[in-house]
Amino acid sequence: MGKVTGFLEFERLEEGYEPVPARVKNWKEFVITLAEDQAKVQGARCMDCGTPFCSSGCPVNNIIPDFNDLVYRGDWQSALEVLQQTNNFPEFTGRVCPAPCEAACTLNVNDDPVGIKSIEHAIIDRGWMEGWVTPQPPRSKTGKKVAVVGSGPAGLAAAQQLARAGHAVTVFEKNSRIGGLLRYGIPDFKMEKTHIDRRIAQMQAEGVVFRTGVLVGAWPADGPGSKVTNDASQTIAAERLMADFDAVLLSGGSEVSRDLPVPGRDLDGVHFAMEFLPQQNKVVAGDKVKGQIKATGKHVIVIGGGDTGSDCVGTSNRHGAASVTQFELMPMPPDEENKPLTWPYWPTKLRTSSSHEEGCQREFAIATKELVGGTGKDKGKVGALKTVHVEWQGGKMVEVPGTEKEYKADLVLLAMGFTAPVAGVLEAFGVERDARGNARAHTEAQGGYRTNVGKVFAAGDMRRGQSLVVWAIREGRQAARAVDEYLMGASTLPR
Ligand SMILES: Cc1cc2nc3c(=O)[nH]c(=O)nc-3n(C[C@H](O)[C@H](O)[C@H](O)COP(=O)(O)OP(=O)(O)OC[C@H]3O[C@@H](n4cnc5c(N)ncnc54)[C@H](O)[C@@H]3O)c2cc1C
Ligand code: SF4
C-alpha cells in the first residue's frame, strides 16, 4: 500500500484540458496527462483494500492496487510491467475508457474515487517515452497459422497474444488502415492515431502480418450494412481462409447502424454518424475525401445521446457549425448517483463529455416524428425536424400532448447505436447468430469463444454486440487463449 493515510490527506486530481477556444481549432488530443508528482499523489490515495473491487470492475482485471503503489514509490518501470500483464493497449483505454474501475473503487462509497484511469494513462505514456515498450517476439514457433478477421481492439489484442504464443498470425482488414473503430470511429481529438501506428510496428516486429483493403466473405449490396466503411479492393472467400489456416477468429465488430424509420429519412443531409465521423478521421490522416459531409455553418441535430453522438458534437464544433443540438430519447438522469444503491456498479447519472463542454444544447425525453424538406432551391434537402416530448408509463413510451416542436436542421446525424454485424460475413462461414444477431459463442473457460463451425472463433463487438474498447481487449485476450488451447491442447496465455 502506498501512503497509509494518503486517502485522508489528498484530494482526487483530475487530468487537465486545453481551454475550449484553443482546442476546437484543431484535431489534436487536449487532455493534459498528470505530471509525475501528481500521479504519485493519486497513487498514494489507494487504500489497497482487502478486496480490490476496482480490479473486478475493470473488464481486463487490471491489477490496480499494485500499479498505484508502484507509482507512489516512483518505480514506473515495474508499474508498467504490472499494467502490461493484463492490458495489451493501456494507451487506448487510458484515453477512451469510461473507467468502470473508478465507479467500483472503495473510496467511491463516500468520497471521490482514485483517478485510476489517469494513472494508467501516465504509466503507459511514460513507458513509450522511455522506450520501455518493446516487441516481445516468441522464443519458438508452433507452426500453426491463425487468421484474424477485423483489426479493431479485439482483433489486435488477440493477434498480439497469439503471435507471442508462437503462432503465425495474419490480420485481414477491409479498410485501408488498421484499427477498426479506434481508427475510423473515435475522433483524433479523443485519441490520435499515432498510438495505433506504434502498436502496429510493435506487432509486426513480433511477427504479425497485416493485410489491409481485403474483405473476407461477402458484402451486402444495399441496406444500412452497405453504408459501412469498406475500402476493400480485394475479396477473400471464407473457404480460402478455412483451407489456408488452422484457426480463424472473427472480430469484425458490430457495424450496422440503427436507422430512424420516419418520414423524410431519405432527404439529403441526413446521415449515419458512421458516415460522418470516418470521413473526418480520413481527412486528418491526409486522405482526400470527395464531397465530405461538413457541419460548417449548419444547424446540426445529433440524434442519440451516447459516445458516438458526443463525438459528432465535437466534430461538428470543430467544423464550425452554426449550432449543435443533441437529442436523447431517455429522460435526463440525476446529476448525482445514489451511491449506497449503485456502488460498485456503473451508475446512471448525467454525464457531460468534453465535447458537450465545447458547445451543445441537450434535449432529453424527445422523439423525432418527421424530417421536413426545404423548399425552392433547398427542395430535397433536410430543413427541419418535427419532435415531441415523451414520458415512460408502465415501461412504455408515450407522447406528451402539446409538446410538439419544430427544430431547424441543415444536417441530421443519426447516432442511435448499432444493431448487428454486417450481413454476409458470418453467413459466409456458416456461423450461427444469437437472438440479437451477433455471432453465437459463449465465454466460459471451457470451449469459450468457439462458434458452431469447427475451427472458427468470434470475439469483440461481433460476438457481444456494441460495447467498449476495454471489453473488446478482454474478449480478444480470452479468445486468443481459447484458440491456443484448441491448437495446442493447453495454453499458458492468461484468460
Ligand atoms: C464513434 C464511436 C465512438 C466510440 N467511443 C468509444 C469510447 O470513447 N470508449 C470506448 O470504450 N468505446 C468507444 N466506442 C466503442 C468501441 O470503439 C468498440 O466497442 C470497439 O472498437 C469494438 O472493437 P472490435 O474490435 O470488436 O470491433 P471494431 O473496432 O468495430 O473493428 C472491427 C473491424 O473489422 C473489420 N471488418 C469487419 N468485417 C470485415 C470483413 N468481412 N473482412 C475484413 N475486415 C472486416 C472492420 O472494418 C473493422 O475495422 C465507440 C464507438 C464508436 C462507433
Ligand atoms: S482499462 Fe478502463 S476499467 Fe480498466 S483500469 Fe483502465 S480505465 Fe479502469
Residue with the smallest CA separation from ligand 2 atom 4 is: 58
At 224 the pLDDT is: 73
List of residues 6+ apart from 396 with CB closer than 8 A: none
CA of 26 to the centre of ligand 2 (A): 27
For the chain, give the secondary structure using H, E and C.
Answer: CCCCCHHHHCCCCCCEECCHHHHCCCCCCCEECCCHHHHHHHHHCCCCCCCCHHHHHCCCCCCHHHHHHHHHHCCHHHHHHHHHHHCCCHHHHHHHCCCHHHHHCHHHHCCCCCCHHHHHHHHHHHHHHHCCCCCCCCCCCCCCEEEEECCCHHHHHHHHHHHHCCCEEEEEECCCCCCCHHHHCCCCCCCCCHHHHHHHHHHHHCCCEEEECEEECCCCCCCHHHHCCCCCCEEECHHHHHHHCCEEEECCCCCEECCCCCCCCCCECEEEHHHHHHHHHHHHCCCCCCCCCCCCCCEEEEECCCHHHHHHHHHHHHHCCCEEEEECCCCCCCCCCCHHHHCCCCCCCCCCCHHHHCCCEEECCEEEEEEEECCHHHCCEEEEEEEEEEEEECCEEEECCCCCEEEECCEEEECCCEEECCCCHHHHHCCCECCCCCECCCCCCCCCCECCCCCEEECCHHHHCCCCHHHHHHHHHHHHHHHHHHHHCCCCCCC
pLDDT for residue 2 is more than 80: no
Same structural domain, 314 and 390: yes
Of 469, 477, 478, the one to substitute when testing ligand 1's pocket (max ligand atoms within 8 A of C-beta) is 469
At 3 the pLDDT is: 86
Residue with the smallest CA separation from ligand 2 atom 1 is: 93
pTM for the whole structure: 0.97
Q: Is the CB of 46 under 6 A from ligand 1?
A: no
At 310 the pLDDT is: 98
CATH of the domain at 242: 3.50.50.60
CA of 386 to the centre of ligand 1 (A): 32
Total number of domains constituting the chain: 3
Question: Tens digits of per-residue pLDDT, 464-473?
Answer: 999 999 999 9
- Give a yes or no: residue 494 inside a domain: no
Q: Is the CB of 157 under 6 A from ligand 2?
A: no
At 326 the pLDDT is: 98
Question: Tens digits of per-residue pLDDT, 95-116?
Answer: 999 999 999 999 999 999 999 9
At 10 the pLDDT is: 94
Same structural domain, 298 and 384: yes
Q: Looking at the CA of residue 461, tell me the nearest atom of ligand 1.
A: 26
- Give a yes or no: residue 1 inside a domain: no
- Give a yes or no: residue 139 inside a domain: no
Same structural domain, 165 and 284: no
Same structural domain, 411 and 263: yes
At 115 the pLDDT is: 97
Q: Is the CB of 315 under 6 A from ligand 2?
A: no
Look at residues 416, 451, 466 and tell me which one is the last residue of a structural domain.
416
Give the range of the structural domain holding residue 470, as residue numbers without chain letter.
145-256+419-488
- Give a yes or no: residue 436 inside a domain: yes
Look at residues 79, 100, 130 and tell me which one is the last residue of a structural domain.
130
At 219 the pLDDT is: 86
CATH of the domain at 81: 1.10.1060.10
Give the ligand with the smallest distance to the CA of 149: 1
pLDDT for residue 1 is more than 80: no
Question: Tens digits of per-residue pLDDT, 204-249?
Answer: 999 999 999 999 998 887 877 788 999 999 999 999 999 999 999 9
| Mean pLDDT value across residues 86-93 | 98
Average pLDDT, the chain: 96
CA distances from 253 to 30, 257, 290, 483 (A): 28, 12, 26, 19
At 174 the pLDDT is: 97
Q: Is the CB of 101 under 6 A from ligand 2?
A: yes
Same structural domain, 265 and 411: yes
Give the ligand with the smallest distance to the CA of 105: 2
pLDDT for residue 22 is more than 90: yes
Of 87, 101, 102, the one to substitute when testing ligand 2's pocket (max ligand atoms within 8 A of C-beta) is 101
CA of 273 to the centre of ligand 1 (A): 13
Same structural domain, 456 and 388: no
| Mean pLDDT value across residues 160-177 | 98
| Mean pLDDT value across residues 183-206 | 98
Nearest to 249 by CA among 451, 421, 493: 451
Same structural domain, 401 and 326: yes
Question: Tens digits of per-residue pLDDT, 403-446?
Answer: 999 999 999 999 999 999 998 899 999 999 999 999 999 999 88
- Over pLDDT 90: what percentage of the chain? 95
pLDDT for residue 493 is more than 90: yes
- Over pLDDT 70: what percentage of the chain? 100
- Give a yes or no: residue 322 inside a domain: yes
